[in-house]
Copies of this chain bind each other. A is one copy, B any other.
Amino acid sequence: MEQKELKDVLSAVAEGKITTDEALTKIKLAPFDDISIANIDTHRGIRQGVSEVIYGGGKSPEQINIIGHRLWENGQGTILITRMSEEAAEYFVKDIPFTYFKEAKVGLIGEKIKPKHDGYILVATGGTSDIPVAEEAALTAEILGSKVERVYDVGVAGIHRLLSRMELIMNARVIIAIAGMEGALASVIGGLADCPVIAVPTSIGYGSAFGGVTALLSMLNSCASGVSVVNIDNGFGAGYLAGMINNMETKYE
């Protein structure tokens, strides 16, 4: 409840337009409404009526189907579903626009949000096994309104492959560096690039890769500046954050 609205309510009471009880009800609902509706909720997805995210992880095909349809009916034009199993995708009733991206386990109800500018997010992986995580990141960013470029399998063991994509790296607005094993890709890209780098460790590797812990630690200790890290295999988190950074409004300039 904005200060002005509150003032209006109070004026209405002072002027006898509404009763004290009516005012009471309005104001009582305000404190958390104020926080939740006007402020907090807007931050989830990017503004009401535009996009929404369903975390498909622990949900049944039935649940995803129901929630997805309900959100669509509420007027959400772009609904992203992460960690959606093939089974859930098959179960989904296709009476509304629906696309399924199998490798990324991502579902989309409606359409990708159109990017506002040509600046792109670069999604890079160390190996081919990292691609499912990369696609989750790339699709998340694309669906939420960013242009994305992909360079896959450019791990540091063959650094020339990475260097040959120098131009793409140097011109990106945000880079998502995804790697398992020793995760050195994030450090090398962090040392080359001039923009924020979001590092995503993957659970790829064996033995002392410890399901992604080695890559995670490696990325946290990157000697390059401008690198931050999200959880193991968290492609969605990286794509979401990259999109947020890429689409920052520059209201102050």
Binding site for B on A (CB under 8 A): 1, 3, 6-7, 10-11, 13-14, 16, 20-21, 23-24, 27-28, 30-32, 34-37, 39-44, 53, 57-58, 116-119, 126-129, 155-161, 163-164, 166, 170, 173, 181-184, 187-188, 190-196, 198, 201, 203-234, 236-238, 240-241, 244-245, 248, 250-253
Q: Contacts of A192 on B, CB cut-off 8 Å?
A: 35, 39-40, 43, 159
Nearest 8 CB-CB pairings of A with B: A207-B232, A36-B160, A117-B252, A184-B184, A43-B194, A228-B228, A31-B31, A157-B191
Number of copies: 8
Interface residue SS majority, chain A: helix
State whether A195 touches B244 (Cβ < 8 A): yes
State whether B158 touches A36 (Cβ < 8 A): yes
Shortest CB–CB separation between residue A29 and chain B, in angstroms? Answer: 9
Most chain B CB within a 10 A radius of its CB, from A27, A117, A166, A182: A182
Candidates B23, B181, B217; contact of A223 at CB < 8 Å: B181
Decide yes or no: A36 and B164 within 8 Å by CB, A194-B43, A208-B213, A221-B181 being known contacts. Answer: yes
Offer 5 A-B interface pairs, CB within 8 angstroms, sorted by A: A11-B20, A37-B160, A41-B158, A58-B129, A228-B237
Q: Contacts of A163 on B, CB cut-off 8 Å?
A: 32, 35-36, 163
State whether A240 touches B225 (Cβ < 8 A): yes
Q: Contacts of A157 on B, CB cut-off 8 Å?
A: 187, 190-191, 222-225
Decide yes or no: A188 and B196 within 8 Å by CB, A157-B224, A223-B126 being known contacts. Answer: no
State whether A10 touches B32 (Cβ < 8 A): no
State whether B230 touches A220 (Cβ < 8 A): yes
Decide yes or no: A218 and B220 within 8 Å by CB, A13-B14, A188-B159 being known contacts. Answer: no
State whether B188 touches A188 (Cβ < 8 A): yes
A163 to B37, CA, bound (A): 11
Shortest CB–CB separation between residue A165 and chain B, in angstroms? Answer: 9
Q: Contacts of A223 on B, CB cut-off 8 Å?
A: 126-127, 155-157, 181-182
State whether B196 touches A225 (Cβ < 8 A): no
Q: Contacts of A129 on B, CB cut-off 8 Å?
A: 57-58
